[in-house]
Amino acid sequence: MGVQAERGKGVAHPIQAAAAMTSSGGDDPDVMATAAQNFIGGKLDAQPFAAHHDPASVSFLLPVFICLHARCERGKPLQSPGYIYLFECCASPAQRNQMPRNVEVKARIHDWERTLQVCKQLSGSNGEQILQRDVFFNTTKDRLKLRDFQDGTGQLIYYERPDQLGPKLSNYSISNTADPNGLEAVLTQALGVRGKVVKERFLFLVGQTRIHLDRVKDLGDFLELEVVLIESQTAQDGDLIAQELMNSLKISQDDLLTGAYMDLLQDKKNDHLSETVMASS
């Protein structure tokens, strides 16, 4: 499902739409690209932007907001004046205060190269490689993990998600950190560690959906879909988007998984222990 800009002379790609809406360069692609990078990188001054766009009439910016919000997955917090202004324009008071929502799908994949090529075709990009080390902490409910990007940055992520097959709604909160090692030490002492997940991730953006192509240590190859919902969208809306992408990626019901990678690793460990006990008895 592509994201269409309602203004910006029909520009379809969200980043191009952001450039078109935040620059005065008309249709000059170089100026547009520079404006997009400035917008995302925090170099855009919010005041000229505000002077040319009435906050009461910027609903057309919602697709751009979705795209930029999705970039948080890359560990690059969007705190630039332009992004903050855009958020203030697009988000209602209720949306600013509520936990963000995704509709998520997780599946095992059997042909890495074929799936990689489909992801490239759907996104029109080569994707972005991200190394991640997730530390899951003991909690009384839901899940809490520290994601270390292994470059000195990380994210503390709390999320609520049912363990069920197929598309499922996930509510989450994220806090960025510049000291993942120090935070891990404190949380380990306070809560204890449930386990760790190490993976190589390739991130693709398709409309308002993040596609994750993951190679998980000691588990194998997987694919995740995260449909980022806006306030006006329901979980059912996200289901339809996810199902369309599942069809394009040829994900079958037999490939779908319920829990997190941490759960799969724990199940694998428990199975190994059971086999060891049976063999020794």
The mean pLDDT of 252-281, rounded to a whole number, is 80
In tens, the pLDDT along 158-195 reads 988 767 766 777 788 888 999 999 999 999 999 999 99
The mean pLDDT of 27-31, rounded to a whole number, is 43
To 5 degrees, how large is the angle CA 90–CA 92–CA 94?
A: 145
pLDDT at 270: 80
pLDDT above 80 for 251: yes
The mean pLDDT of 110-138, rounded to a whole number, is 95
Give Cα separations from 181 to 3, 67, 187 (angstroms): 38, 29, 10
> Which residues pair with residue 175 across a beta bridge?
156
In tens, the pLDDT along 206-243 reads 988 999 999 999 999 999 999 988 877 888 999 999 99
pLDDT above 90 for 83: no
pLDDT at 53: 43
**Residue 229 · residue 168 · CB < 8 Å:** no
pLDDT above 90 for 22: no
To 5 degrees, how large is the angle CA 169–CA 218–CA 175?
A: 45
pLDDT at 89: 47
pLDDT at 99: 61
pLDDT above 80 for 48: no
Beta-carbon count within 10 A of 149 CB? 16
- For the chain, what is the HEC assignment? CCCCCCCCCCCCCHHHHHHHHHCCCCCCHHHHHHHHHHHHHCCCCHHHHHHHCCHHHCHHHHHHHHHHHHHHHHCCCCCCHHHHHHHHHHCCHHHHHCCCEEEEEEEECCCHHHHHHHHHHHHCCCCEEEEEEEEEECCCCCEEEEEECCCCCEEEEEEECCCCCCCEEEEEEEEEECCHHHHHHHHHHHHCEEEEEEEEEEEEEECCEEEEEEEECCCEEEEEEEEECCCCCCHHHHHHHHHHHHHHCCCCHHHECCCCHHHHHHHHHHHHHHHHHHHHC
Considering only residues 43 and 235, tell me which one the structure prediction assigns the higher pLDDT.
235
Please give the Cα distance from 112 to 122 (Å, whole number).
15
Average pLDDT of the chain to the nearest whole number: 73
pLDDT above 60 for 78: no
pLDDT above 60 for 91: no
pLDDT at 148: 95
Please give the Cα distance from 146 to 150 (Å, whole number).
12
- For 41-102, what is the HEC assignment? HCCCCHHHHHHHCCHHHCHHHHHHHHHHHHHHHHCCCCCCHHHHHHHHHHCCHHHHHCCCEE
pLDDT at 183: 96
pLDDT above 80 for 75: no
Indicate the domain borders of the chain.
Answer: 14-96, 99-273
Share of the chain above pLDDT 90, in %: 42
Report CA dihedral (73, 252, 233, 38) to the nearest 10 degrees.
30
Q: Indicate the pLDDT class of residue 52, thresholds 50, 70 and 90.
A: very low
**Residue 55 · residue 34 · CB < 8 Å:** no
Q: Indicate the pLDDT class of residue 57, thresholds 50, 70 and 90.
A: very low
The mean pLDDT of 266-270, rounded to a whole number, is 87
Q: Indicate the pLDDT class of residue 279, thresholds 50, 70 and 90.
A: low
Considering only residues 20 and 212, tell me which one the structure prediction assigns the higher pLDDT.
212
pLDDT above 70 for 64: no
Identify the CATH number of the domain defined by range 99-273: 2.40.320.10
Q: Please give the structure tokens belonging to residue 4.
A: 């269409």
pLDDT at 172: 81
